[in-house]
């Protein structure tokens, strides 16, 4: 699955050559203003890049551009100072102007057949203009090696005036859960900068690993950067949980950190370090247990989640953290230092006599205010060093007199949008990164076929739809919404290719909502620019996702018990080719023209095809057709997982899936503590001799198999006769799965069929969560 972005290169080149999308200006993020013109500017060996004499920063921008052009095309552009008298045949001129309306990052670009003139106030503006210029050139221009010469290296004529909507435009990467080499970080920054992000948020520490060298405390990397093994699969995927048994580690030396920071600066990207506190601290406590409330011993976490052991607010702990932050601030030169502050359980503080005495001494209300005290102490220290503190939105939870976070603290809102709005109303600058829109570790398509991801589904269109500061917010709140960030957590992302697959193209959508004026945003227009984005990513050897091209399915049960399966694709000009015989569909397979009728169980496979070439991954779905398909089903107890789900999903003809976290299971329905009691109306008496019910087993999440499954029938829907009861084993553990229980009996004619999966009620003794409420969760029910 990963790395397939590379494989598309040869396919695309075979039929696209220098073909552009219908959009002549396929820039992402879309500029604020574009005026189209006829004609084009052609780069050639006689093209001169002119920069102001003595302006070293602009000469660097020009040299970067010329170097990339030569790498990809072989064209050796000349760089010339404006005081030289030679009049070039074709010229690209970088021309500083004193226009405050452009701001520090804005630019104007006037493209004519003989000249391109770029105007900006600051070097960043010129740099971003060049990023737009790359995207106007053929996508081959971004190749890391010489490519076959196209007919022309051209830029469409036009006029662009552009500047960002937000001052903060960030892309985050968690290197604590999984470690990534400096070479990948540089590539990550390259892609970030190409799309006009200006901030790299580097999540360096967490429970599962400490990744930055601190000279004064060498055990942070000697011990804290290592874990003895790593969880396999999702958190609730197996009971007991399974681990790989492989030691895992890695960290960045201070020289490597400096190297990354310098590289980012050359791309006009600021790096923000995150040092987590007071929670997510197990790796640090494993190295220095004296800073925890119980003094340990502690161990670097081998699985994901939230852990109760956190930093204890001793004076020595603050000295320890201030020493760390002093070394960190010497390495990072931007204005911000991120201190985390999220997901901080208070159990250790509640048990600690020291913490309880401190709460009384400071006249605090509770442990939440103790966290505010902790945060305020760190905030004062960071502020005293001329920096600004950023924290996740939990830093506001206990903020109230007598302990409050300083107004200069910036809040990063991740738990939806309300936390950010609240902070902005209180006068804090806010960076919006709500998990339901811009967390890029979520699934982006069919969970059953996508690579392992966090669990939730956040497709490209949902990310693009987000507006960080809608017009409905008052101006007093709007002014504090300083930016937006996409976050990339790596619990389930082990390799650079996996990260790239999750990030692109969704990061491009975030780039556009961070840069482009909201009135210029257009989902149809964005999708027209996607083919050019994908071609550029091919030349940048980036393992992006093509899930946008994946065919989707909508099965509709029919009154006669059959199914009609509708197939859909986002790419409207594309064809859909499909099969129902188990074969892999391709460009020559049956063309989809109308919903596919299914009168018996089948596997449907489909793929999008454009210009005779397959453009997406093959998708597959299992459908089952039985006497129960599409029939009315009634549950005696309403579903509570998911809450109030339509019982019809149990007879819709499509198997469910347990892929992802428990709350994201699809096509299933369950009840807590009660029996799952389902009655199906066959509409008329029919011969019945077999009932199959899918039952979810996920004992790590208290979803147990039932004690028994009973089948009963009725002629009138009131009086039922039990045909057969089969025992099951609620204590059966193992991997999360759907167990399909078939119950057969002598044929009987009946209109109503009742299936009762009897809940054990409470998790039995001897199981990990003994005594807790148990669930029974069912998948598709079939009747033959």
Q: Is 207 a catalytic residue?
A: no
Cis peptide before 642, with omega less than 30 degrees from 0? yes
Nearest CA to 84 out of 42, 120, 53 is that of 53
- The number of beta carbons lying within 10 Å of the beta carbon of residue 26 is 22
The answer to whether 434 touches 468, Cβ cutoff 8 Å, is no
Q: Is 333 a catalytic residue?
A: no
Q: Which of 172, 178, 203, 280 is catalytic?
A: 280
- Residues pairing with 782 in the sheet: 692
Beta strand residue intervals within 580-719, DSSP E:
590-591, 596-598, 602-610, 613-614, 619-623, 632-635, 669-672, 676-697, 708-714
The answer to whether 783 touches 626, Cβ cutoff 8 Å, is yes
Tokens matching residue 724: 């057969």
Query: Exposure pattern of 659-695 as b/e (b: 16+ CB <10 Å)?
Result: bbbbebbbbbbbbbebbbbbbbebeeeeebeebbbbb
How far, in whole angstroms, is CA 473 from its chain's centroid?
26
Nearest CA to 251 out of 159, 137, 329, 175 is that of 175
Cα-based distances in Å from 771 to 392, 639, 673, 727 = 35, 21, 11, 21
Q: Which of 105, 206, 491, 710 is catalytic?
A: 206
Cis peptide before 497, with omega less than 30 degrees from 0? no
Residue whose structure tokens are 């999903």: 649
Q: Is 575 a catalytic residue?
A: no
Tokens matching residue 169: 């435009």
Helix (H), strand (E), coil (C) string for 546-558: CHHHCCEEEEEEC
The residues, any chain, with a CB within 8 Å of residue 330's CB and separated by 6 or more, are none
Q: Left (φ > 0), alpha (ψ -120 to 50) or beta: where does 17 sit?
A: left
Tokens matching residue 422: 């609240």
Instruction: Concatenate the DSSP letters of all residues of 378-427 into one string.
Output: HHHHHHHTT-EEEEEGGGGTT-BTTB---TT-EEEE-SSSHHHHHHHHTT
Helix axes 254-266 and 315-331, enclosed angle (nearest 10): 50
Q: Left (φ > 0), alpha (ψ -120 to 50) or beta: where does 577 sit?
A: beta
The residues, any chain, with a CB within 8 Å of residue 482's CB and separated by 6 or more, are 166, 167, 168, 410, 429, 430, 431
DSSP state of 140: G
Considering Cα of 175, then 180, then 182, then 184, what sign does the dihedral take? negative
- Residues pairing with 555 in the sheet: 565
Tokens matching residue 351: 């048990």
User: How many residues in total does the chain contain?
Assistant: 784
Query: Exposure pattern of 123-146 as b/e (b: 16+ CB <10 Å)?
Result: bbbbbbbbbbbbbbbbbbbbbeee
Q: Which of 63, 229, 259, 343 is catalytic?
A: 343
Burial class (CB within 10 angstroms; exposed 0-12, middle 13-18, buried 19+) of 628: buried
The residues, any chain, with a CB within 8 Å of residue 113's CB and separated by 6 or more, are 39, 40, 41, 42, 157
Give me the active site residues, please. 206, 280, 343
């Amino acid at each position: 699955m990963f790395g397939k972005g590379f494989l598309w290169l040869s396919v695309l080149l075979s039929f696209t050559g220098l073909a552009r999308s219908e959009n002549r200006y396929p820039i992402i993020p879309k500029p604020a203003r574009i005026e189209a013109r006829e004609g084009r500017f052609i780069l050639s060996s006689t093209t001169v890049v002119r920069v102001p004499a003595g302006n070293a920063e602009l000469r660097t921008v020009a040299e970067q551009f010329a170097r990339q052009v030569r790498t990809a095309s072989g064209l050796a552009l000349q760089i010339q100072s404006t005081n030289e008298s030679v009049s070039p045949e074709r010229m690209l001129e970088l021309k500083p102007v004193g226009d405050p309306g452009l701001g520090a990052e804005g630019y104007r670009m006037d493209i004519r057949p003989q000249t391109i003139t770029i105007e900006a106030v600051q070097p960043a503006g010129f740099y971003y203009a060049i990023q737009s210029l790359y995207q106007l050139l053929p996508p081959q221009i971004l190749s890391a090696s010489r490519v076959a010469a196209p007919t022309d290296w051209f830029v469409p004529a036009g006029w662009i005036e552009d500047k960002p909507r937000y001052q903060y435009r960030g892309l985050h990467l968690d290197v604590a859960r999984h470690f990534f080499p400096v070479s990948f970080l540089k590539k990550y920054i390259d892609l970030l900068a190409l799309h006009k992000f200006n901030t790299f948020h580097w999540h360096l520490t967490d429970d599962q690993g400490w990744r930055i060298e601190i000279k004064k405390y060498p055990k942070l990397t000697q011990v804290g950067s290592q874990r003895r093994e790593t969880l396999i699969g999702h958190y609730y995927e197996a009971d007991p949980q399974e681990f790989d048994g492989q030691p895992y580690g890695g960290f960045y030396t201070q020289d490597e950190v400096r190297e990354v920071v310098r590289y980012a600066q050359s791309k006009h990207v600021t790096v923000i370090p995150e040092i987590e506190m007071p929670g997510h601290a197990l790796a640090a406590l494993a190295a220095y247990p004296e800073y925890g409330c119980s003094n340990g011993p502690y161990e670097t976490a081998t699985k994901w989640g939230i852990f109760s052991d956190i930093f204890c607010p001793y004076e020595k702990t603050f000295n320890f953290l201030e020493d760390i932050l002093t070394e960190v601030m010497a390495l990072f030169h931007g204005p911000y230092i991120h201190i985390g502050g999220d997901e901080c359980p208070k159990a250790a503080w509640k048990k600690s006599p020291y913490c309880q005495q401190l709460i009384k001494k400071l006249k605090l209300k509770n442990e939440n205010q103790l966290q505010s005290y902790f945060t305020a102490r760190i905030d004062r220290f960071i502020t005293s060093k001329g920096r600004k503190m950023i924290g996740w939105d939990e830093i506001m939870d206990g903020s109230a007199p007598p302990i409050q976070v300083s107004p200069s603290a910036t809040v990063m809102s991740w738990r939806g949008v309300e936390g950010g709005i609240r902070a902005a109303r209180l006068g804090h600058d806010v960076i919006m990164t709500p998990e339901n829109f811009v967390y890029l570790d979520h699934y982006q398509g069919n969970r059953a076929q996508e690579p392992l991801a966090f669990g939730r589904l956040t497709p490209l269109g949902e990310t693009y739809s987000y507006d960080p500061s809608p017009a409905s917010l008052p101006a007093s709140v709007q002014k504090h919404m300083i930016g937006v960030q996409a976050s990339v957590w790596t619990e389930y992302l082990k390799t650079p290719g996996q990260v790239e697959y999750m990030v692109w193209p969704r990061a491009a959508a975030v780039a556009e909502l961070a840069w482009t004026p909201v009135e210029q945003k257009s989902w149809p227009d964005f999708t027209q620019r996607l083919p050019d984005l994908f071609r550029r990513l091919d030349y940048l050897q980036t393992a992006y996702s093509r899930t946008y091209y994946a065919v989707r399915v909508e099965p509709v049960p029919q009154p006669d018990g059959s199914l009609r399966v509708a197939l859909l694709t986002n790419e409207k000009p594309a064809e859909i080719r499909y099969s129902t015989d188990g074969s892999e569909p391709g460009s020559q397979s049956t063309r989809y023209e109308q919903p596919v009728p299914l009168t018996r169980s089948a596997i449907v496979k489909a793929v999008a095809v454009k210009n005779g070439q397959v453009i997406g991954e093959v998708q597959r779905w299992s459908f089952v057709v039985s006497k129960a398909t599409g029939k009315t089903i009634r549950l005696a107890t309403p579903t509570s997982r998911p809450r109030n789900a339509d019982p019809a999903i149990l007879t819709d003809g499509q198997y469910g899936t347990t892929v992802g976290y428990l709350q994201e299971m699809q096509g299933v329905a369950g009840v807590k503590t009660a029996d799952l009691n389902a009655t199906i109306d066959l509409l008329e008496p029919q011969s019945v001799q077999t009932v199959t019910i899918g039952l979810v087993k996920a004992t790590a999440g208290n979803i147990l198999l039932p004690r028994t499954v009973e089948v009963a029938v009725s002629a009138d829907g009131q009086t039922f006769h039990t045909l057969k009861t089969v025992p099951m084993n609620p204590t059966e553990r193992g991997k999360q799965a759907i167990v399909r229980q078939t119950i057969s009996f002598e044929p009987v004619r009946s209109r109503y069929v009742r299936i009762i999966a009897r809940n054990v009620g409470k998790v039995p003794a001897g199981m990990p969560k003994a005594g807790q409420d148990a669930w029974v969760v069912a998948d598709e029910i079939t009747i033959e």
